Amino acid sequence: MRTAVYPGSFDPLTNGHLDIIRRGTRLFDRFVVAVLENEGKSPLFSVAERMELITRCTAGIPAVEVHSFSGLLIDFMRRFNANVVVRGIRAVSDYEYELQMALMNRELSPNVETIFMLPAVEYTYVSSRLVKEVFRLGGDVARLVPPPVLESLKARLPVTVGG
């Protein structure tokens, strides 16, 4: 069984993330979405909320599992007998950071490979941080996030029109 892990904070899940998940499940038998427990980032949604949103948004996609992790990604991967990390890359700046992480993961576990996937063109500029910022300022993000995420944003974030 070929198992891949797609790690991230997913705060919140975007349509770019979903695009990577959908296409990733065509390449692997088991696709584990790994939600990072990193409270140092001051997340908008708790780990449990992010996991629930991802689970709801991927309900119709076979082979997807949603779990959380803290610590080294390599240790998490060993628990699932996974040897492939999937990472989405939108720009050269993403690649530079992700290359360092991929090489460190390989140093820690030589059998781990990292696959970089590009999101669909319409999502190449979309990031969770940008979605939250635009939403806070009253912008329409409905095309950028799944409906359950949009509803959660509306319930959680005050909109400050005009800054």
Pair 136, 159: CB distance under 8 Å: yes
What is the pTM assigned to this prediction?
0.93
| Least confidently predicted of 3-17, 30-44, 70-84 | 30-44
Return mean pLDDT, the chain. 93
Q: What stretches of 5-146 show up as alpha helix (H) in DSSP?
A: 15-25, 47-57, 73-79, 92-108, 128-136
* Domain boundary assignment for the chain: 3-120
The whole-number pLDDT of residue 13 equals 98
Pair 77, 112: CB distance under 8 Å: yes
Helix axis angle for 147-156 and 47-57, nearest 10°, is 150
**Helix, strand or coil, per DSSP, at residue 107:** helix
The whole-number pLDDT of residue 54 equals 98
Question: Any idea which residues carry the catalytic annotation?
Answer: 17, 41, 90, 128
Task: Give the Cα separation of 135 and 129 in Å (integer).
Answer: 10
The whole-number pLDDT of residue 39 equals 66
Q: How many angstroms separate the first and last alpha carbons of the chain?
A: 50
Instruction: State phi, psi for 9 to the nearest 5 degrees.
Output: -85, -35
Q: Which fold has domain 3-120?
A: Rossmann fold (3.40.50)
The whole-number pLDDT of residue 161 equals 63
Q: Taking 90 as the threshold, does the pLDDT of residue 67 lie above it?
A: yes
At 78-99, the pLDDT tens digits run 999 999 999 999 888 889 999 9
